[in-house]
């Protein structure tokens, strides 16, 4: 499987981690697109950065480009919420290797959220690598469940 294009965004709390990831993942052969911010601002508003990264993931996927996203913050919670407001995004907050792996394997998550203040740079890098490298299982039960979520997202209908 080819490496995905990676769209990344952060808030001020994840700036150091984001800069590291842009460099590290680029050196690993990933096509990394940085959606900002470009300068440290302790009062920044992360939603615009995260929404732009999430929109780019969906646009790439709709164009047939293998793409995933990374959103970073102090906890990753707000960034995950912002990304999940974009139709077609399944953003998962990862805090250990199992949650990073299962987000892809079971949920076909296309965006990972990580708290930059919750992990060392090395640990966060490994969490993200696990996420980027794990394929979706395509197991029927997971496909079915994701389909039910997509139906609700598109129509508001709850499918039992």
Q: Which residues are catalytic, by number? A: 79, 106
| Residue 68, burial from CB neighbour count under 10 angstroms (0-12, 13-18, 19+) | buried
Output b/e per residue, 40-67; b: 16+ Cβ within 10 A. Answer: eeeebebbebbbbbbbbbbebbeeeeeb
């Amino acid at each position: 499987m080819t490496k995905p294009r990676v769209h990344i965004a952060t808030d001020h709390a994840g700036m150091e981690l984001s800069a590291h990831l842009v460099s590290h993942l680029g050196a690993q052969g990933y096509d990394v697109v940085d959606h900002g911010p470009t300068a440290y601002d302790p009062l920044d508003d992360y939603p615009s950065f995260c929404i732009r990264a999430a929109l780019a993931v969906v646009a790439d996927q709709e164009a047939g480009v293998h793409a995933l996203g990374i959103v970073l913050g102090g906890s990753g919670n707000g960034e995950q919420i912002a990304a999940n407001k974009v139709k077609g995004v399944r953003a998962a907050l990862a805090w250990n290797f199992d949650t990073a792996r299962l987000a892809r394997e079971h949920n076909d998550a296309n965006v990972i959220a990580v708290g930059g203040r919750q992990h060392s740079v090395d640990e966060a890098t490994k969490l993200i690598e696990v996420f980027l490298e794990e394929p979706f299982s395509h197991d029927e039960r997971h496909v079915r469940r994701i389909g039910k979520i997509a139906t609700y997202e598109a129509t508001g209908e709850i499918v039992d």
